[in-house]
């Protein structure tokens, strides 16, 4: 790439970022003032009225703002759609957080909340016992399904067609203990669903053991998994069933707080 092309590309990128910054400031101004005129928006952004008008028009095309009867610019219904998409995730972490903090202290291990998104497990929340050495912060990380306890728990509650679709192709091996045989993995997933918890014993990372249990929404469907992870010397095989019962009690409490009734048919 020539120096001129690089300069033009950098200039274009800077302009795009500046436009996004300005658009966000427009929305913040409207929210703070409960509506604002284009002139007021221009003064707030310190730009010409024509520039403010173009920003408003762009946001209006995406339903992020709209014009009131008096001509003032108001927040639009598009923001409601975005907010409603984020709310379930926010509600889940707000409700699960206190339970996970208590669970981390009781088990003395690191606890995570994960959901299924686009063929991976996405970690939304992490709690860590005060007595443990700081582990990697998994919040925001995307992890594979077949080699993690949360991923297995989420897979276990999918219908067979969905599960096959997500497990299609070669399963990556991370350690010598990673299950890469689809048939063997299917058997383990069925077992996990039946007993109510899944395990990953040094399958994703050497020396790391984790177990997970499901979180159910109001309709009984599994919407997330809560895992507890720690070093293999602490989460030894003989400790897993006992720790799993503590974990399951915590996920049942989270499910109850989310509106799931224990007498409902679980899916």
| pLDDT tens digits for range 163-212 | 888 888 889 999 999 999 988 999 999 999 999 999 999 999 999 999 99
Distance of CA 44 to the CA centre of its chain: 35
- Could you tell me the fold of the domain covering 84-257? Beta-Lactamase (3.30.450)
* pLDDT at residue 19, as a whole number: 81
DSSP string, 217-264: -TTS-EEEEEEEEEETTTS-GGGHHHHHHHHHHHHHHHHHHTT--TTS
- Work out the pLDDT band at 7, boundaries 50, 70, 90: very low
**158: Cα separation from own chain's centroid:** 18
Using CA atoms, how far residue 18 sits from 24, 47, 239, in Å, is: 10, 12, 55
Please write the tens of the pLDDT for every residue from 136-146: 777 888 899 99
Read off the pLDDT band of 6 (50, 70, 90): very low
Q: Give yes or no for residue 86 having a pLDDT over 70.
A: no
Q: Which residues contact 210 (CB under 8 A, 6 or more apart)?
A: 148, 149, 150, 199, 200, 204, 227, 228, 229, 230, 235
| pLDDT for residue 85 | 61
pLDDT attached to residue 204: 94
Q: Where are the domains of the chain?
A: 3-75, 84-257
Average pLDDT over residues 46-57: 93
- The predicted pLDDT at position 4 comes to 46
Write out the H or E segment, with its range, that includes residue 34: none
Please state which of the four CATH numbers 1.10.10.10, 3.40.50.620, 3.30.70.3040, 3.40.50.300 is assigned to the domain occupying 3-75. 1.10.10.10
pLDDT over 70 percentage in the chain: 86
Q: What is the pLDDT of residues 63-75, one digit of tens each?
A: 899 988 788 999 9
CA distance linking residue 231 with residue 208, whole number of Å: 5
Among candidate residues 168, 221, 175, the one with its CA nearest the CA of residue 201 = 175
Higher pLDDT, 87 or 211: 211
Mean pLDDT along residues 106-132: 88
Residue 261 has pLDDT above 80, yes or no: no
pLDDT > 90 fraction of the chain, expressed in percent and rounded: 55
Residue with more model confidence, 225 or 219:
225
Does pLDDT of 10 surpass 50?
Answer: no
The string of pLDDT tens digits covering residues 14-34 is: 556 678 889 999 999 998 888
How confident is the prediction for the chain on average, in pLDDT? 86
Name residue 121's beta-bridge partners: 116, 143
Q: What are phi and psi of 154, to 5 degrees?
A: -65, -40
pLDDT at residue 11, as a whole number: 45
For residues 221 and 3, give the distance between their C-alpha atoms in angstroms, rounded to a whole number: 56
Same fold, 3-75 and 84-257: no
Question: Model's pTM, two decimal places?
Answer: 0.66
For 3, the token pair is 């120096």
Q: What gap in Å lies between CA 32 and CA 11, rounded to an integer?
A: 31
């Amino acid at each position: 790439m020539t120096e001129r092309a690089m300069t033009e590309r950098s200039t274009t990128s800077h302009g795009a970022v500046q436009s996004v910054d300005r658009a966000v400031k427009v929305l913040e101004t409207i929210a703070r003032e409960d509506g604002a005129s284009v002139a007021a928006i221009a003064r707030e952004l310190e730009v010409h009225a024509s520039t403010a008008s173009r920003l408003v028009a762009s946001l209006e095309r995406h339903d992020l703002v709209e014009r009131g009867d008096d001509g003032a610019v108001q927040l639009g219904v598009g923001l409601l759609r975005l907010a409603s998409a984020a709310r379930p995730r926010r509600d889940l972490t707000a409700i699960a957080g206190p339970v996970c903090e208590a669970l981390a202290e009781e088990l003395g291990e690191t606890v995570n909340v994960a959901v299924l998104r686009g063929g991976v497990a996405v970690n939304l929340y992490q709690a860590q016992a005060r007595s443990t050495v700081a582990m990697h912060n998994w919040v925001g990380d995307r992890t594979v399904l077949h080699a993690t306890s949360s991923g297995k728990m989420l897979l276990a509650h999918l219908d067979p067609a969905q599960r096959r679709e997500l497990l299609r192709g070669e399963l990556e091996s991370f350690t010598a203990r990673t299950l890469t045989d689809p048939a063997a993995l299917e058997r383990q997933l069925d077992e996990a669903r039946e007993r109510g918890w899944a395990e990953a014993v040094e399958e994703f990372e050497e020396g790391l053991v984790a177990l997970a249990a499901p979180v159910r929404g109001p309709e009984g469907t599994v919407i997330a998994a809560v895992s507890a992870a720690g070093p293999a010397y602490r989460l030894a095989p003989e400790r897993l069933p006992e720790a799993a019962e503590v974990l399951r009690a915590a996920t049942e409490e989270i499910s109850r707080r989310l509106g799931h009734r224990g007498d409902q048919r679980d899916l």
